[in-house]
Chains A and B, each alone.
Chain A
Amino acid sequence: MRYSSAVQAVNRRRPSVYAVKFAEHGAIAAYGLRGCGARLGAAIASVLAHRPLLPSSVTGGASNDSIVSVTVRDARRRPVFQTDTTELTAYAADVPLQQAGGLTARVTIRPHGVAILALGAVPGSRVSLLVGLLTLTAAMIGVTVTQLRREHELSRIRSDFISSVSHELRTPLSQILLFAETLNLGRVRSDEERHAATDVIVQEGRRLMHLVENILHFSRAEREMTRLGLEPIDLSVVVCSIVEDWRPLAAAADVRIETRLAPDVHAVADSSALRQMLLNLLDNAVKYGPTSGTVTVGTSANGTGARVWVEDEGQGIPPDERERVWSSYYRLERDAHSAVAGSGIGLYVVRELARLHGGSAWVEAATGGGARFVVEVPA
């Protein structure tokens, strides 16, 4: 398994938190912290306070600090955590904590510790064994800290996701509420305004339904619970029907949809899954394309595969991001802090559904400079 060569900041707001990802599919392999010695030191202190290195049955009730001294250094050998270093013996062990971003833990026994640990008939040669035990325990510090970080980061990602989803739901909800109240209070001046209000309610209701279905698809994909009902379909006919349903939503955003559907493109696919994939691609194209722009949808046959593609006139996807955009929760840095709502699950759902079909999904540069998202399913 190859790791991504670039270590990337997880979030602009938290440049110190970085992630190493698998090159093949972009899943996060490990998290790390950069330039945060003080926080790391506090985390280790917290761990030691709650989880003593040596149990009281071994220490005879004495505090760990009176028996051992612990020093944790970063990759540049700078101490990030240190207990009292006075009165040390030569019995020490260094443990590189590979999983904790190059940290090294050193545990040294104090003279008082030797007296307690080698108490009575324990021969001096056993002290090195005890140091080994301490070493293993010190390694556990690193594992625990790493786990703490990962849990913290996962919790942050989950929180960001919930925030993004709720924001995405608010846009259609705002419109439904505004126009429903307008109708309910009889605040319309003509039949035209009444029809426009009901149209918005229906459209945005559909958008809400699509968002909710997307979250359900995502949840099922995460638990590998998605089941497809594959059947032979005429891809162009199905795509045409989906596009016609979506056209009013695109029109509301002042975006035109053009189709280039090849005749007789047959595929073996689940119509519902195909609909979800295409709606996600259309939604992205409308969101990230320019206002008053055009989104083009096409189909083509390709040997044993049938393709559907969606092309926009936006800024396109930089080549080094074209694989990463399919990861769950991932959004391009330029979009993550923009006004465009997005939860970072749409493309993940598309690729998962394509994979379950035995097909694939990818993105390439569009002829006009935007992005061209392609889904291929078996013919």
Chain B
Amino acid sequence: MTRILIIEDNRNLATGLRNNLEIEGHEVDVASDGLNGLSLARSRAPGLIVLDLMLPAWMAIACCARFARTGSTHRSSFSARAAKKPTRSSAFNSARNDYVAKPFGLLELLARVEALLRRASGGRTKPKLAAPVTFGRVHVDPGTHMVTLSGEGQ
């Protein structure tokens, strides 16, 4: 489990991302603006930050610059469009580890998050398996490669 911080001012997107990352087994904090994001980044020391670059520009740059200086966390960021000004680009480039454009695919984002976390742990983390699923009397556990019917191994 990794603690992840989402900094996103769109409440729906933040909620959708949080739910999906929680389902992946992560602990998720959400900040709706850069100031809260910086505060949570300091107090909660997340292992990964998902930052919306389309926060008010100066705040997004400030966040990236601050994260780059502290260097204690591994970050991912996503944005609706590429920054155009060189100063902004360089700030992002120095701070971020990955980037996806809106609208992004859910599975792609989750895969990138897992890849970043694996890279951060030096490849020691095993790829995360899907959670067990039950439908009707059938129970499938990808972790143990076991399928049971009414509790009996098949």
A contact set with B: CB distance below 8 Å: 163, 167, 170-171, 173-179, 181-182, 185, 187-189, 193, 196-197, 200, 204, 252-254, 291, 337-339, 341
B80–A174 touching, CB < 8 Å: yes
Knowing A174-B102, A181-B107, A339-B55, the reply to whether A252 touches B23 (Cβ < 8 A) is no
Q: Which of A170, A179, A252, A253 contacts B102 (CB 8 A)?
A: A170
> Which chain B residues numbered 29 to 87 have a C-beta less than 8 Å away from chain A?
32, 54-57, 80-81
Q: In the complex, A171 Cα to B107 Cα: how many Å?
A: 18
Q: In the complex, A196 Cα to B54 Cα: how many Å?
A: 24
Does B150 touch A at the CB level, under 8 Å? no
- In the assembled complex, which residues on chain B have CB atoms less than 8 Å from the CB atom of A189? 19, 23
Q: Which of B13, B23, B80, B105 contacts A181 (CB 8 A)?
A: B105
Chain A's nearest CB lies how many Å from the CB of B18?
11
Q: Which of B9, B15, B23 contacts A196 (CB 8 A)?
A: B15
Q: In the complex, A337 Cα to B57 Cα: how many Å?
A: 8
A181–B106 touching, CB < 8 Å: yes
Q: In the complex, A108 Cα to B2 Cα: how many Å?
A: 78
Residue from the set A170, A182, A187 with the largest chain B CB neighbour count within 10 Å = A187
1/0 per residue B1-34: CB within 8 Å of A? Answer: 0000000011111011101100100000000100
**7 residue pairs A–B, Cβ–Cβ below 8 Å:** A170-B81, A174-B103, A174-B104, A182-B16, A252-B12, A338-B56, A341-B80
- What is the total of A-B residue contacts with beta carbons within 8 Å? 71
- In the assembled complex, which residues on chain A have CB atoms less than 8 Å from the CB atom of B56? 338-339
Knowing A170-B102, A200-B12, the reply to whether A182 touches B19 (Cβ < 8 A) is yes
* B-side interface size class: 20 to 34
B12–A175 touching, CB < 8 Å: yes
- In the assembled complex, which residues on chain B have CB atoms less than 8 Å from the CB atom of A339? 9, 54-57
Q: In the complex, A170 Cα to B55 Cα: how many Å?
A: 15
Knowing A337-B57, A338-B57, the reply to whether A171 touches B80 (Cβ < 8 A) is yes
Closest to B81 in A: A167
- In the assembled complex, which residues on chain A have CB atoms less than 8 Å from the CB atom of B20? 182, 187
- In the assembled complex, which residues on chain A have CB atoms less than 8 Å from the CB atom of B23? 187, 189
Knowing A167-B81, A253-B11, the reply to whether A200 touches B103 (Cβ < 8 A) is no
B102–A171 touching, CB < 8 Å: yes
Closest to B101 in A: A170
Q: In the complex, A291 Cα to B80 Cα: how many Å?
A: 21
- In the assembled complex, which residues on chain B have CB atoms less than 8 Å from the CB atom of A170? 80-81, 102-103
A178–B106 touching, CB < 8 Å: yes
- In the assembled complex, which residues on chain B have CB atoms less than 8 Å from the CB atom of A176? 103
Q: Which of A171, A177, A179, A338 contacts B105 (CB 8 A)?
A: A177
Nearest 4 CB-CB pairings of A with B:
A174-B103, A181-B106, A174-B102, A173-B103
Residue from the set A173, A176, A182 with the largest chain B CB neighbour count within 10 Å = A182
Closest to B54 in A: A339
Q: In the complex, A125 Cα to B55 Cα: how many Å?
A: 71
- In the assembled complex, which residues on chain A have CB atoms less than 8 Å from the CB atom of B19? 182, 187-189, 193
- In the assembled complex, which residues on chain B have CB atoms less than 8 Å from the CB atom of A178? 13, 16-17, 103-104, 106
B11–A252 touching, CB < 8 Å: yes
B13–A175 touching, CB < 8 Å: yes
Closest to B109 in A: A178
> Which chain B residues numbered 101 to 147 have a C-beta less than 8 Å away from chain A?
102-107
- In the assembled complex, which residues on chain B have CB atoms less than 8 Å from the CB atom of A179? 12, 16
Residue from the set A175, A176, A178, A196 with the largest chain B CB neighbour count within 10 Å = A178
Chain B's nearest CB lies how many Å from the CB of A197?
7
Q: In the complex, A163 Cα to B80 Cα: how many Å?
A: 11
Chain A's nearest CB lies how many Å from the CB of B24?
9
New A-B contacts (14) at CB < 8 Å, excluding given A178-B17, A339-B56: A167-B80, A173-B102, A175-B10, A176-B103, A177-B103, A177-B104, A178-B16, A178-B103, A182-B106, A185-B106, A188-B19, A338-B56, A339-B57, A341-B80
- In the assembled complex, which residues on chain B have CB atoms less than 8 Å from the CB atom of A200? 12, 16
- In the assembled complex, which residues on chain B have CB atoms less than 8 Å from the CB atom of A175? 10, 12-13, 16
- In the assembled complex, which residues on chain A have CB atoms less than 8 Å from the CB atom of B12? 175, 179, 200, 204, 252
Q: In the complex, A182 Cα to B106 Cα: how many Å?
A: 7
Q: In the complex, A255 Cα to B38 Cα: how many Å?
A: 25
Chain A's nearest CB lies how many Å from the CB of B105?
7
Q: In the complex, A178 Cα to B109 Cα: how many Å?
A: 10
Closest to B104 in A: A174
Closest to B52 in A: A339
- In the assembled complex, which residues on chain B have CB atoms less than 8 Å from the CB atom of A337? 57
